[in-house]
Structure 1
Amino acid sequence: MTDRADQTIDALRTGHDYLTAVVHGLASADLNRPSGASGWDVSQVLSHLGSGAEISLAVLEGALNTTGTPDGDFNKSVWARWDDMSPAQRAEGFVAANNMLVSRYEDLDAQTRKELKVDLGFLPVAADVATVAGIRLTEFAHHTWDVEVAFDHEAPLLPAVTGLLLDQAGPFLNFLGKADALDARPVRIAVHTSAPERTFGLEVGDTITLTDEPEQPDAVLNTPAEWWLRLTTGRHAPAHTPSEVSLASASLTLDDLRRIFPGF
């Protein structure tokens, strides 16, 4: 069986190659179009991904070389440099910077992929390669959607990475969501996804957690897996919600779920 780190690194390459092809197909004016990320145009999304790749590479190198995680001033200097780029420079800069990050992941040998610990600075403990690469994949996939939805309001998440993202989403739901967005708690929701098919529970109480499917749910959500993932990251506006999404409940609405997950 392929290791989760290997699967995630392969998915990062798939995502990079896909978005690179999208970027190379854009005209100059396309880079100024509003993206799916509120307040950002397409070039700013690419800037965020490019600067993030540069910072992520520095963090990875710090773990490999035991020099530690770069400080906040390093991050600020990277962001400032990308902010000063033209839209075209951001687009090409993204392709180069993200390819360097993905290539560095690909160069890691099997032992390093299994044993390396990376201090991300915002987690309580250093994380393994699978987790660190998975966090990057989550960010990358959703910001790829931010680019694509500028040109197609029905765009889904990249199908090639949806299953992998679905299986690793649970630990971050409490970080992404706002349990106190609902006045009446706890709430237990049965979630049924398609493409791929999964069945599980979502409990919103003092925290937000995934559970086994509840026997007596307060609501039943049927949804494509890719929209469930977009829901949890705030990319859930009615205009971008597929017709297959349905919520059966006497007390909850889709807008209630949208309030739980305001996005990033």
Structure 2
Amino acid sequence: MTDRADQTIAALRGGHDYLTSVVHGLATADLTRRSGASEWDVSQVLSHLGSGAEIGHASLEGALNGTGPRDGDFNKSVWARWDAMSPSERAEGFVTADERLVRRYEELDARTRQELRVQLGFLPAPVDVATVAGLRLSEFTHHTWDVEVAFDPTAVLLPVATEPLLAQAGLLIGFLGKADALGGRHARVAVRTVSPVRSFGLDLGDSVALVDEPAEPDAVLSAPAEWWLRLVTGRHAPAHTPAGVDLKGDAISLEDRRLGYTPCSPASS
């Protein structure tokens, strides 16, 4: 488990350093460009990441100090403060807040990375450092894509994050998948990715679940791993689907609401 935490924290550092370099290269007008998150401009994505870093840091400190998580009013006050910022303030604030969070993760020793449990308001039980850092990595990586795709429609997820995110895809797939999009049909899909190479199964029925690769699949999906991850979070529109994505089989098509996934909609800053 410590190895998974180490890998995830290293990916958070790589992602932070990369997005910081992107942000420092943006002009003021770039910050109000429409992002890959349909309801937000680039500065609002950075606001979401910055406020999330601030809230995440408070949750981590609460676990380390034994004081537990902050209440919902704390989160609302953080969001309200970031909402009131100008686009430039959001950009600079993101850099500072995310650096603080990443550095705090890096300061955790091996025993703490193994034994600490962090209470998150949206989960029923405390989770380990590898899991809470992995959830942040997923949010951070996909929102980094939201920023980049505003300027480059061929943008892909950060390579440093792809492997650790692929390993934890099952955590969110049941929540994000929309099985009703298939109109009651059931299908078992073999998923085969490259960069990195992985194979597993996707069960589309009453719910969406990650399973072992089926021996007799109804369809076979071949795709870059980073696109598969974008599919899981709804960032899979045809305009952002690379030529390497291929689906064989008559049971389902890519246009079946894009394999049962719908685009993510931002809920709050």
Same-fold call, TM > 0.5?
Answer: yes
Per-residue CA deviation, residues 118-149 of structure 1 (Å, 9 max, x unaligned), is: 11011121100000000000000000000000
1: CA distance, partners of 2:185 / 2:96: 47
Report the secondary structure of 2:77's partner residue: helix
Instruction: Give the aligned partner of residue 69 of structure 1.
Output: 69
Between the aligned partners of 1:191 and 1:257, the Cα distance in structure 2 is 17
Alpha-carbon separation, structure 2, partners of 1:2 and 1:139: 21
What is the identity, as a one-letter code, of the residue corresponding to 2:86?
S
Q: How does 1:116-131 map to 2 (within 5 A)?
A: 116-131=116-131
TM alignment of 1:220-231, pairs within 5 A: 220-231=220-231
The one-letter amino acid paired with 1:161 is A
Corresponding residue number in structure 2 for 1:110: 110
Q: What is aligned with 1:219?
A: 219
Q: CA deviation at 1:186?
A: 2.5
Where in structure 1 do 4 or more consecutive aligned residues deviate above 3 Å? none
- Provide Cα deviations, 1:134-172, integer angstroms capped at 9, x if missing partner: 000000000000000000000000111111111111121
Deviation for aligned residue 1:206:
2.0
| CA positional deviation for 1:185 | 3.3
Match of 2:157, as an amino acid? L
Q: Distance in 2 between matches of 1:184 and 1:205?
A: 7
1:71-110 aligned at under 5 Å gives the runs 71-110=71-110
After the TM superposition, which of the residue ranges 3-12 and 176-185 deviates more from structure 2? Answer: 176-185
**Residues 232 and 263 in structure 1, CA contact (< 8 A), matched pair in contact too:** no
If the length of structure 2 is used for normalisation, what is the TM-score? 0.95
C-alpha distance in 1, partners of 2:40/2:258?
A: 21
Distance 2:184 2:219 in 1: 13
Q: CA deviation at 1:187?
A: 1.2
Residue 42 (structure 2) aligns with: 42
Distance, in Å, in 2 between the alignment partners of 1:171 and 1:95 is 28
User: How far off is 1:257 after superposition?
Assistant: 5.0
Structure-2 residue corresponding to 1:30: 30
Gaps of 5+ in 1: none
Q: d(CA) in 1 for partners of 2:29 and 2:205?
A: 46
Deviates more, 1:41-50 or 1:119-128: 119-128
Tell me the distance in 1 between the aligned counterparts of 2:44 and 2:171: 28
SS of residue in 1 equivalent to 2:190: strand
- State TM-score, norm by structure 1: 0.97
CA contact (8 A) 2:200 2:213 kept: yes
The total of aligned residue pairs comes to 264
Matched, 1:182 2:182: yes
Q: Distance in 1 between matches of 2:129 and 2:263?
A: 25
- Pairing 1:3–2:3 present: yes
RMSD of the alignment, in Å? 1.2
Paired residues of 2:156 and 2:227 also in contact (CA < 8 A) = yes
Task: Report the equivalent of 1:253.
Answer: 253
**Per the alignment, in what secondary structure is the counterpart of residue 13 of structure 1?**
helix
What residue is the counterpart of 2:241 in the other structure?
241
Aligned to 1:202: 202
Amino acid at match of 1:45: V
Matches of 2:256 and 2:48 in 1, distance apart?
29
Shift of 1:102: 0.4
**CA distance, structure 1, for counterparts of residue 115 and residue 185 of structure 2:** 41
Distance 1:2 1:117, change over 3 A: closer
**1-structure distance, mates of 2:146, 2:171:** 23
Quote the offset at 1:207 in angstroms: 2.2
Give 2:267's aligned residue.
Answer: none
What is the distance in 1 between the residues matched to 2:160 and 2:12? 10
Q: Using the alignment, how far apart are the partners of 1:176 and 1:130 within structure 2? A: 21
Q: Assess, with a 3 A threshold, how the Cα gap between structure 1 residues 153 and 52 changes in structure 2: closer, same or farther.
A: same
Identity %: 69
For 2:249 and 2:184, the matched residues in 1 are separated by 14
Kept after mapping to 1: 8 A contact 2:2/2:110: no
Q: Which has the higher contact order (CA 8 A, sep 6+)?
A: 2
